[in-house]
Structure 1
Amino acid sequence: MNNIKIAFRSLSRNKGFTFINITGLAVGLAVCIMIMLYVTHEMSYDSFHKNGKRIYNLRASIKMGGNVMNMAYMSYAAGPIVKQNNPVVEDYMRTMVYFRPMVVSNPASPENKFAENKLIFADAGFFNFYSFKLLSGEASEALKAPFSVVISKDIAKKYFGNTNPVGETLIIKTDSAYTYHITGVAENAPSNSSIDFNFVASNTSLLSMKEASMYTGSQEISFGSFGLNLLLKHASDTAALRRNLQAMAKKDKSLGEMIYTLSPITDTHLHMNFGDSSNTRYLKIFPLVAVLILLLALVNYMSLSTARATLRAKEVGVRKVSGASRISIAMQFYVESALFAGISFVLGYCLCYLCKPWFLNVLQLKIDNSFLYSPVVLGLLFALLVLTVLIAGSYPSLVLSAFKPVVTLKGKMSRQAGGTAVRKVFTTLQFAISVGLIICGIIIDRQLYYFRHADTGINRDNIVMLPVGTNLVKNYQAFKKDIGDLAGVGEVATSHYAMYKGYDMFFAAGKTKEEKSIPIANLVADNNFIPVLGLKWKYQPAPNTEITGRNKVVINELAIGKLHLPANPVGSFISDGNNNLQVMGVLKNFNFSSMADELRPFALITLPDTSSFWKKTGCSLFVKINPHTNLPTLLAKMQGIYKKYDRDTPFDYTFMDDAFNQQYKAEDRLAAIFSLFTYITVILATMGLFGLAAFTIEQRTKEIGIRKILGASLSKISTLLSLDFLKLVLLSVIIASPVAWWAMHNWLQNFANRITIPWWVFTAAGGIAVLAAIITVSYHAIKAALANPVDSLRSE
């Protein structure tokens, strides 16, 4: 209790230093807690399943010539075949995520229709295979019958209020409208589940649909629409299963050389998802940043605590003369550090709680509140508190408890007391971290600027893309004409996919043994596609030549070299594996996917505007809008035309430049978070320097008074006092620059199109750090230089 009283007195006596210490440590802890929650949540995916250690995801890849094609989704028949040939497999589960738009209505109020998502089709034992909680209904019976569906708790409340909907029906319109019987209500899927759903329908529903063959596909193991998870009889059976799968692959050569991949379900989120869904690129960066920021905050605390060592020296001397041991004195300062750390931790947790919604919104993540109070998270928070107390109290207690009572009581403590050299190291470390993050932040920003302003070969300005589903395609020609006739619309075009939303692939026959088949990205579009997107010709089609047709193709420049075609390949033929396609023209290379990826060989097949192809597959309508057009009014008119032909499907649109920018959302989020971290490190470093400069200059008050009496000017005194600190900042720039260059050089290797790191980035970062240090130190330096020397020398 005595130690706690002394700690509180120390807190209240030195309010400025207390504020800097507690605030700096609280901010560092808040950042660390936020990142810890994020990383822990990402690492905990699917660990809640009771049989999680025995559930493995099965995927495959196929070698065709010199190319490898990954099979993320497999055929409907793959599950039974694998189980039949592998006795170690206890059960299998096939799930198909329905990616297309769907409309749901309650037959009791058919006029109220809602666009919904997160529909999955699954085998009958879904709720026994996984550990999703059923609030009502029988797990073993819920998904047996065709057109049976289990809905989530939120969906049940949305459509049926607080009544139990089991036994009721919903009309779900996918490719066609079907009436589904509700057989259960499930708790909402946890935020750390790689399987997310609002509706779980039975796979037997798919078999009863007229489009069944499109989904069930081949009766062999092949490409398909279903994710396949296997439940093993024992967790140790993985080696035997892999051997059996290899034996199966050797027997079946129908698709080429197949390689099976087996991974735990807990790895699905981080290692098996395509796209940006898992934020995995942050998991290596953010923990490092969290450690650096917490280290910076702890360094602040230890530096300021030891800097005030001379003020506590006589206290330590009196205690030692009175019989206190070094251990008891060290314990006193540990208690003081624990009090500081405890207050900082509470403030840091409150800051984290307040900033969490923003942080998760930037990362586009959801974390359940129940996860925040799980035993794992609470244990990690406690461990962080203990670690903070141990580190924060270690150095000050060792330094202060080591003072010799004879020296301290005679008042002969030099300015070196309290480890000035160590504090210089601390200050250099702080600014090195800050400068390193500033450099990284600038380079990330430059790379994003390059992505958005590089010439991609496509004119993306003022182009709106409207998705056209199966409900509207039968009236597509009339719809397209009505849109094209609107005032403010320049041209319209049709493509199978919206730009930057996907493309098809075919394999062209290669000319060498090493390249038996060459993957070619291809897109099907109409005649207006090229002019609407502003694509440029390298070799134009011959005059009066029709380029439209199934057996005609337009390629890009890159395809010429990859396919070993003549320099001007117009009139040449390439094979897509089934047909010979005549090359009608060559387009200049353009980026039809992310600038982060390498440019690929590309083929464009143009079909007539009236082609039945659009009716079978759906398409995307590209609308070129004239300059100076009132966009809200025009979009409202487009919506009216859309509803005229399709009342059920919600009207949706995307600007092409927004779709282009959306490809870099991961980098955008990284830049936003990194900017925040950089601001925090600079603030923490300057706070530490502010407190250290105040105390250092306070120690030199008499020196400054003597210099003023001897004629030193204000500028000379300010320069003298600032120079020592500026040397440390410049040293930190020298240390941080090569480390930051190495880190960013490695990061840039992830992008096929990237900037070279400019020299001025290091100068700019150093200039920011030096300017922050000058402003921080100058306040105290000028204040000391302006002080009356009579006051500072009066005690002499």
Structure 2
Amino acid sequence: MLKSYLKTAWRFLLKNKTFSLINIVGLATGTLCCLYILLYVQDQYSYDKQHKDVKDIYRITTTLELTGDKHDGAASSPPIAPAMKNDFGEVLQYTRLVNTDGFGAKQHLLRYKEKSFYQQDAVYVDSTFFDMFNFHFVSGNANKALAEPYTIVLLKPVADKLFGSEDAVGKMISIDNSFGKHDFKVMGVIDESAGESHIKASIFMAMNSGGLGDYVRKNTAWAGNNFLYAYVKLRPNTNAAALEKKLPEFLNKYGADQLKAIGMKKALHLQPVTSIHITPGHEHELTKTLDPSFLYIMILVAVLIQVVACINFMNLSTARASKRAKEVGVRKVIGADQGDLMKQFLGESFMLTLIGVAVALPLLVVLLPYLNQVTHSDIRLTFFINYKLWVMLAGMVLVTGLVAGSYPAFYLSAFKAIKVIKGNFTNHISAGGIRKTLVVFQFWLSIILISGVIIIYSQLNFVKNKDLGFDQNQKLIFNFYTATTQGKMKNFANDLKGLAEVKTVSNADNYLSQFVPHDHGVYTAGGNMATATDAQNINTDEFFAKANGIKIIAGRDFRIGDSSRVLINETLCKRLGLNPQTAPGTRLYTQYAPDPVTFVEVAGVMKDFNYNSLHMQVKPFMLVYQKDPQYFNVMVVSTDSKNYKSLLGKMESLWRKDVIDAPFEYSFLDTEVQKQYETEVTLSQIINAFTVMAIVISCLGLFGLAAFSAEQRSKEIGVRKVLGASVTGIVQLLSKDFVKLVLIALAIATPVAWWAMSKWLQAFEYRVNISWWMFALAGMLAMIIALVTVSSQAIKAARMNPVKSLKAE
């Protein structure tokens, strides 16, 4: 019996090649999208699952409140984790990690024999790090890797670049950065084959290696210095929530005096390591996190795209019902019951689904690099050995086959044998209402996705063109990553000023658009740290405001030789209760015990500008004048050039003369500003790609329906042509029903798309307003797509010789 079903299904597919091809392409495209999205979501949820006893590993996070400003941070103060290990029997082990980026060491100059290059993503970690976190060691021993001072573990690509085919373990390399130059012994090489982790670093240095590591180990700050990522491993079966309830008393025991002195409220929390990658909202994350709502949307898109492919099958199957009605009647007369017929039609559905999957898998292999590029992920071909893939595929075949084939099978098998054999099956095969509903659903999804593309593009365009309050154009950024190169900044700056194309050169410890690691609580006379306003700050020379086009609205800019002077923004001025016009000359005080009270004087007030991304409101901010060059590791060069190739050539010559042994590297400020929106650009690319897929699948179904509609109305078209109807009139006749369906879909899709995109835009403090024209444009595009698809078949039918369709009458 099964053999008969399969043979009949195969013959039907071969006999109806266009029908079969449309369905196979639609199902293959839908399966490709759905499968990749499911693999992508699985990959995002797999972060940190590879670590042994990971359910017992937690990160210590911090909530800070200072003068009304509340911050949820991913980091904590250095002494907290060791004290927890000492005070709580529930804590089995701890480890800490410090990212060097926030301390001016964004790049590290690595040297081995004649090879040297800059490498980023370096961290200091405690010797217990590889005991707690499981990374795959290509060579070396995880247990002893970082026990000794000045030892190091490298990521495999870095080791390969340094040593080639040589064994890296035991080799000595030199690392030169802003903390100085030191020799390190390589104790291990790791790769990322064990699994994805929120900890992404290429260099792991032992914490007991002087410099920043010593600063961490000797640090006793319980209130401030929340720059370190601390992890604790709890004993099996420990109740983490119960332990967290003990932390307020624990923090009060050690940090009450410090917290009181600066007027800060602080709370500690335990966050499961496996939740870090998919829990947004913490400031200063080690790596970018992902909002789980985005993953839910991706899953929904995957399901809807597969449903669209199933709808094509249902629509085309019911549209062809008149072609199969007599077949059903004959089968029933010779003894087939409704169950047998349902099995046959479901068999056809499953066969098409299997063929679609068979086509989708090799397509997925071929398109995997492109799809990974779109999603900025690294899903690898090794997933084919993952049993979960095959479980997903089996589930997709089962669900798709049932969803796509159940209604056609039920509908076709319900025909009455005697009536259909006599030719009386018109009432039974209408199903027009259901087909129209399904077409509306397809375009409902397409219009929502197109609306999303339009609004995301509008927001990104808004971000790109918004006046940020400073001039980001024609600004070159040079970073000086090592103590040696920092000593060469003055000579290089002086030589740059001699170039005609260079307008201004400024030195600082950071540049606009980057995370600002420095902040101080400041207050006016009569206040104290309990009433202080927390202000982020950048240390600069006297040219920074001019180089960046920052407007001074009151007072003056820095001058050479200024001492203890600051420029404050309007927000800080208002928070301090000052009038911008009278604020210049005001003294601002600060104190972090046991240090004495210090003060700075306001030289001028800056107009507010977006020194961070448009996701955030402008916060209290100040520029702090420094005349000591040891504070600086960044150079901002304002230029006026129409030939950057020539200018960069001149700059490189000066660099080779002044800096000598460091690579010539630079970036443009406007490019760095746009990097703040990489997540949104990625989302835009993902939505674009899968919107195109959904539209392609919908168009395939619409093409098939238009073809069958034209076929069913061929005699009507012939009569109309004989009576004088034009090609245009016939095309309008065949297209108007589809136009109505698109308009209905637009009316239903608009409120859903408006709600969804309003939610997405809430992530931006500065955003576009959603307007009616965005949905009108989406509807118009959907209408054009539908008309182009339908018109191709309508024109073909309208131009057919009416004699052919009427000769049987």
Place the TM-score, normalised by the shorter chain, in its bin.
Answer: over 0.9
Alignment of 1:377-526 (within 5 A): 377-414=389-426, 417=429, 419-469=431-481, 470-503=483-516, 504-509=518-523, 516-526=531-541
Judged with a 3 Å threshold, the aligned counterparts in structure 2 of structure 1 residues 268 and 585 are, in CA distance, closer, same or farther, namely: same
Counterpart pick for 2:59 among 52, 57, 61: 57
Q: 1:272-293, CA deviations, whole angstroms, 9 ceiling, x for partnerless residues?
A: 6646723437324322222222
Q: Which amino acid aligns with 2:536?
A: A
Q: Which amino acid aligns with 2:220?
A: Q
1:132 aligned partner: 135
* 1:509 and 1:516 in contact (8 A); partners too: yes
2:318 aligned partner: 306
Judged with a 3 Å threshold, the aligned counterparts in structure 2 of structure 1 residues 619 and 731 are, in CA distance, closer, same or farther, namely: same
2:576 aligned partner: 563
Secondary structure, aligned partner of 2:143: coil
Matched, 1:148 2:151: yes
How far does residue 675 in structure 1 lie from its aligned partner after superposition?
1.8
Partners in 1 of 2:146 and 2:757 — Cα distance? 51
How far does residue 212 in structure 1 lie from its aligned partner after superposition?
4.6
2:216 aligned partner: 215
Counterpart pick for 1:632 among 621, 639, 645: 645
* 2:570 and 2:580 in contact (8 A); partners too: no
How far does residue 39 in structure 1 lie from its aligned partner after superposition?
0.9
Counterpart pick for 2:327 among 286, 293, 315: 315
Alignment of 1:67-146 (within 5 A): 67-99=69-101, 100=105, 101-106=107-112, 110-146=113-149
1:791 aligned partner: 804
In terms of mean alpha carbon deviation, does 227-236 or 133-142 score higher? 133-142
How far does residue 657 in structure 1 lie from its aligned partner after superposition?
0.9
* 2:207 and 2:213 in contact (8 A); partners too: no
How far does residue 62 in structure 1 lie from its aligned partner after superposition?
2.8
Secondary structure, aligned partner of 1:228: strand
In terms of mean alpha carbon deviation, does 327-336 or 131-140 score higher? 131-140
Counterpart pick for 1:7 among 6, 9, 20: 9
Q: 1:425-453, CA deviations, whole angstroms, 9 ceiling, x for partnerless residues?
A: 01111111111111121111111111111
Judged with a 3 Å threshold, the aligned counterparts in structure 2 of structure 1 residues 459 and 257 are, in CA distance, closer, same or farther, namely: closer
* 2:540 and 2:632 in contact (8 A); partners too: no
Partners in 2 of 1:530 and 1:59 — Cα distance? 35
In terms of mean alpha carbon deviation, does 407-416 or 300-309 score higher? 407-416
Partners in 2 of 1:201 and 1:164 — Cα distance? 19
Secondary structure, aligned partner of 1:140: helix
* 1:45 and 1:192 in contact (8 A); partners too: yes
How far does residue 250 in structure 1 lie from its aligned partner after superposition?
3.6
How many positions carry a matched residue from both structures? 782
Matched, 1:177 2:181: yes
Partners in 2 of 1:147 and 1:712 — Cα distance? 89
Q: 1:561-616, CA deviations, whole angstroms, 9 ceiling, x for partnerless residues?
A: 32221252243525242434333322222221212321223322333xxx21x31x
* 2:508 and 2:632 in contact (8 A); partners too: no
Partners in 2 of 1:437 and 1:549 — Cα distance? 56
Partners in 1 of 2:221 and 2:619 — Cα distance? 31
Q: Which amino acid aligns with 2:272?
A: P
Partners in 1 of 2:538 and 2:144 — Cα distance? 44
Q: Which amino acid aligns with 2:502?
A: V
Secondary structure, aligned partner of 2:152: strand
Counterpart pick for 1:533 among 529, 548, 558: 548
Partners in 1 of 2:639 and 2:584 — Cα distance? 35
Partners in 2 of 1:71 and 1:788 — Cα distance? 74
Alignment of 1:306-385 (within 5 A): 306-371=318-383, 373-385=385-397
Q: Which amino acid aligns with 2:59?
A: N
Q: Which amino acid aligns with 2:444?
A: A
Partners in 1 of 2:533 and 2:428 — Cα distance? 71
How far does residue 715 in structure 1 lie from its aligned partner after superposition?
3.1
Judged with a 3 Å threshold, the aligned counterparts in structure 2 of structure 1 residues 530 and 119 are, in CA distance, closer, same or farther, namely: closer
2:595 aligned partner: none
In terms of mean alpha carbon deviation, does 43-52 or 133-142 score higher? 133-142
Matched, 1:754 2:759: no
Partners in 1 of 2:30 and 2:191 — Cα distance? 36
* 1:541 and 1:547 in contact (8 A); partners too: no
Give the CA RMSD over aligned residues: 2.6
Matched, 1:269 2:271: no
In terms of mean alpha carbon deviation, does 141-150 or 49-58 score higher? 141-150
Partners in 1 of 2:523 and 2:449 — Cα distance? 49
Q: Which amino acid aligns with 1:652?
A: E
Secondary structure, aligned partner of 2:458: helix
* 1:399 and 1:418 in contact (8 A); partners too: no
* 1:191 and 1:366 in contact (8 A); partners too: no
2:594 aligned partner: none
Judged with a 3 Å threshold, the aligned counterparts in structure 2 of structure 1 residues 720 and 393 are, in CA distance, closer, same or farther, namely: same
2:171 aligned partner: 168
Where has structure 1 moved over 6 Å in runs of 4 or more?
Answer: 510-515
Secondary structure, aligned partner of 2:174: strand
How far does residue 631 in structure 1 lie from its aligned partner after superposition?
1.4
In terms of mean alpha carbon deviation, does 711-720 or 436-445 score higher? 711-720
Partners in 1 of 2:265 and 2:523 — Cα distance? 18
* 2:492 and 2:659 in contact (8 A); partners too: no
Q: 1:386-412, CA deviations, whole angstroms, 9 ceiling, x for partnerless residues?
A: 222221222111111211111211111
Judged with a 3 Å threshold, the aligned counterparts in structure 2 of structure 1 residues 5 and 647 are, in CA distance, closer, same or farther, namely: farther
* 2:641 and 2:647 in contact (8 A); partners too: no
Partners in 2 of 1:182 and 1:774 — Cα distance? 65
Matched, 1:278 2:289: yes
How far does residue 488 in structure 1 lie from its aligned partner after superposition?
2.3
1:719 aligned partner: 732
In terms of mean alpha carbon deviation, does 654-663 or 769-778 score higher? 769-778
Partners in 2 of 1:675 and 1:316 — Cα distance? 43
**TM-score normalized by the length of structure 1:** 0.92
How far does residue 480 in structure 1 lie from its aligned partner after superposition?
0.8
How far does residue 266 in structure 1 lie from its aligned partner after superposition?
0.5
Secondary structure, aligned partner of 1:58: strand
In terms of mean alpha carbon deviation, does 196-205 or 257-266 score higher? 196-205
2:32 aligned partner: 30
* 1:553 and 1:585 in contact (8 A); partners too: yes
Partners in 1 of 2:560 and 2:487 — Cα distance? 25
2:251 aligned partner: 249
Q: 1:40-70, CA deviations, whole angstroms, 9 ceiling, x for partnerless residues?
A: 1011101111211111111222333323344
Q: Which amino acid aligns with 1:351?
A: L
Secondary structure, aligned partner of 1:258: strand
Secondary structure, aligned partner of 1:472: helix
Partners in 1 of 2:91 and 2:684 — Cα distance? 45
Partners in 2 of 1:444 and 1:351 — Cα distance? 28
How far does residue 84 in structure 1 lie from its aligned partner after superposition?
1.1
2:205 aligned partner: 201
Judged with a 3 Å threshold, the aligned counterparts in structure 2 of structure 1 residues 362 and 566 are, in CA distance, closer, same or farther, namely: same
Partners in 2 of 1:305 and 1:513 — Cα distance? 78
Partners in 1 of 2:763 and 2:152 — Cα distance? 43
* 2:94 and 2:128 in contact (8 A); partners too: no
Q: 1:218-241, CA deviations, whole angstroms, 9 ceiling, x for partnerless residues?
A: 235453543211111114431332
Secondary structure, aligned partner of 2:43: helix
Q: Which amino acid aligns with 1:624?
A: S
1:605 aligned partner: 624
How far does residue 163 in structure 1 lie from its aligned partner after superposition?
4.3
How far does residue 312 in structure 1 lie from its aligned partner after superposition?
1.2
Partners in 2 of 1:190 and 1:133 — Cα distance? 6
Alignment of 1:623-702 (within 5 A): 623-628=637-642, 630-702=643-715
For structure 2, the 5+ residue unaligned runs are 592-597
**TM-score normalized by the length of structure 2:** 0.91
